[in-house]
Chains A and B, each alone.
Chain A
């Protein structure tokens, strides 16, 4: 089945630690996105990538980093510079201006 796979489902981060969230898609979509969702708020864009080896900052990129070495993969690293990382993270992919598809999300908690 075609779709987007995010892992892990739950992730715990200690203070000062970097963690990486995985996002893989087999839809052959060029564009991939990372969003952050906080309770009662809409999704906010962290980073997006339109093609391999290229990506752009979204509205809240500070404290995050990404890579796009393969079309299928768009991992997100939450660095120690992100002071409030506890949130629900969603990865999405899209072809042109067609329907966007989302993964099942990763819930990150600081312990």
Chain B
């Protein structure tokens, strides 16, 4: 069974600092990995999708890398802002129409 781990569980940084969020998974046979953002009491918003054949994906200040062989993905958020405060979740798709989620990293960006 695929296990997805996100460390740390919580992170607090001053505004302007770069954020580095980690995601690890146990089974490297994945089709893709997706990063989501969740605000308190809300649903998930998709940030980036990395297909298994890709090494990284970028959108604005966000960059996500994928190393299938080591079972790791990293989400980088450049020049953090208070509006980036949220919980970030990663999920892996193992092609059985099921996503396996990590528990998330809760980020606080201090003004």
A19 CB within 8 Å of chain B: no
Contacts A31-B97, A40-B103, A42-B103 given: A102-B34 contact, CB under 8 Å?
A: no
Residues of chain B within 8 A of A105, CB atoms compared: 41-43
Counting chain A residues whose Cβ lies within 8 A of the other chain, the interface size class is: 20 to 34
Contacts of A90 in B (CB 8 A): 43-44
Chain A contacts with B in 28-42, Cβ cutoff 8 A: 31, 33, 35, 40-42
- In the complex, whether B91 has a CB less than 8 A from a CB of chain A is yes
Query: Interface size for chain B: under 10, 10 to 19, 20 to 34, or 35 or more residues?
Result: 20 to 34
Chain A residue numbers with a CB within 8 Å of B36 are 102
B86 to chain A, nearest CB (A): 14
**Chain B positions within 8 Å of A88 at CB level:** 41
A99 B98 Cβ-Cβ under 8 A: no
Q: Mark B1-25, 1 if CB is under 8 A from A, else 0.
A: 0001000010000000000000000
Q: Establish whether residues A99 and B46, one from each chain, have CB atoms under 8 Å apart when the complex forms.
A: yes
User: Of the candidates A35, A45, A48, A100, which one forms a contact with B34 in the assembled complex, judged by CB atoms under 8 Å apart?
Assistant: A100
Report Cα–Cα, A103/B41, bound state, in Å: 12
Knowing that A41-B103, A44-B101, A98-B49 touch, tell me 10 more A-B residue pairs with CB under 8 angstroms.
A4-B43, A31-B97, A35-B101, A42-B89, A42-B101, A92-B99, A94-B97, A100-B91, A102-B36, A105-B42
List 29 A–B pairs whose Cβ atoms lie within 8 Å, in order of A's numbering: A31-B97, A33-B99, A40-B9, A40-B103, A41-B103, A42-B89, A42-B101, A42-B103, A42-B104, A43-B91, A43-B99, A45-B98, A45-B99, A58-B98, A90-B44, A97-B32, A97-B51, A97-B93, A97-B95, A100-B34, A100-B99, A101-B46, A102-B36, A102-B43, A102-B44, A102-B46, A104-B42, A105-B42, A107-B41
- Those 7 A-B pairs whose CB atoms lie nearest each other, nearest first: A42-B101, A102-B44, A102-B43, A104-B43, A43-B101, A42-B103, A97-B31
Hey, which bits of chain A sit against chain B, CB under 8 A?
Answer: 4, 6, 31, 33, 35, 40-45, 48, 50, 58, 88, 90, 92, 94, 97-105, 107
